Amino acid sequence: MNPTKTWRAWLPWVALALAVGGALFAAGAYVVMRTFETPVRIALAVALVGAAGFLYLEPDRVRRWLTGREARYGSNALVLSLAFVGILAALNYLATLYPQRWDLTEDKSNTLPPEVQEVLDNLEQPVKAYAFYSANVDRTFARETLDKFALASDGKFTYEFVDPIANPGLAQQYGVTRDGTVVLVQGDRHEQVLFLSDEEMANALARLMRPEERVVYFITGHGEGDIETLGDNGYSLLKEELTNRNFTVRTWSLPAEGTLPDDADVVVLAGPMEDITPAEQKALTDYLSNGGRVIFLFNTSPEGAAEPDADLTDYLASHWYIQVDNDVVVDTSSPQQPLIAVGVPERGHPITQDLQGLVVLFPVARSVRSLGDQAPATLTVRELVRTTERAWGETDLSIFTSSSPEGAQQVAYDEGEDLPGPVSLVVAAEDTLTGARVVVIGDADFVRNGFYQAYGNGLLMLDAVDWAAGQENLITVAPRPQTQRYLKPLAGYGLGLLALSSICLLPGTVLIVGGVVWFRRRMRR
Partner 1 sequence: MRTVWIIARREFRRYFTRPVGYLVLFLYLFVLGLIVNNGLQRAYAFSLFQGAPPPDAEIVIGPMLTLLVFSIPALTMNLLAGEQASGTLELLLTAPIRDWELVAGKWLGGFLFVVVLLALTLIYPLALHLLTEPGLDWGPVVSGYLGLLLVSAALLALGVAVSALFRSQVAAFVVTLALFLFLWMLSSLAGAGSPSEGLLRYLDFGNHFYTAFFRGVIDLQGVVYYLSVTAFGLLVGTVIIESRRWRG
In the complex, the residues that contact partner 1 under the rule CB under 8 A are 69-70, 73-74, 77, 80-81, 84-85, 88, 91-92, 94-96, 98-107, 109-110, 133, 135, 143-144, 147, 160-163, 166-167, 483-488, 490, 495, 498-499, 501-507, 510-511, 513-514, 517-518, 521
- Least Å distance, CB 173 to partner 1, is 15
- Least Å distance, CB 158 to partner 1, is 11
Minimum CB distance to partner 1 smaller for 147 or for 311:
147
CB burial of residue 129 (10 Å; 0-12, 13-18, 19+)? buried
- Least Å distance, CB 81 to partner 1, is 6
User: DSSP per residue over 146-195, as a string?
Assistant: HHHHHHHTTTSEEEEEE-TTT-HHHHHHTT--STTEEEEEETTEEEEESS
- Least Å distance, CB 441 to partner 1, is 31
- Least Å distance, CB 150 to partner 1, is 12
Whole-number Å distance between alpha carbons of 349 and 216? 21
Yes or no: say if 381 and 321 are a contact pair by the CB < 8 Å rule: yes
The one-character DSSP state at 376 is: -
Count of other CB atoms within 10 angstroms of residue 423: 30
Phi, psi dihedrals of residue 185, rounded to the nearest 5°: -120, 130
- Least Å distance, CB 60 to partner 1, is 16
Minimum CB distance to partner 1 smaller for 137 or for 375:
137
Closest Cα partner for 283 from 325, 311, 323? 311
Whole-number Å distance between alpha carbons of 187 and 190? 8
Phi, psi dihedrals of residue 314, rounded to the nearest 5°: -60, -45
Count of other CB atoms within 10 angstroms of residue 352: 27
- Least Å distance, CB 466 to partner 1, is 28
Using H for helix, E for strand and C for coil, what is the string for 291-338? CCEEEEECCCCCCCCCCCCHHHHHHHHHHHCEEECCCEEEECCCCCCC
Query: Across the strands, what pairs with 206?
Result: none
Minimum CB distance to partner 1 smaller for 108 or for 282:
108
Yes or no: say if 332 and 338 are a contact pair by the CB < 8 Å rule: yes
Q: Can you tell me whether residue 463 is helix, strand or coil?
A: helix
Minimum CB distance to partner 1 smaller for 210 or for 488:
488
- Least Å distance, CB 499 to partner 1, is 5
Minimum CB distance to partner 1 smaller for 66 or for 88:
88
Minimum CB distance to partner 1 smaller for 133 or for 467:
133
- Least Å distance, CB 502 to partner 1, is 4
Minimum CB distance to partner 1 smaller for 4 or for 100:
100
Minimum CB distance to partner 1 smaller for 17 or for 511:
511
Query: Across the strands, what pairs with 186?
Result: 189
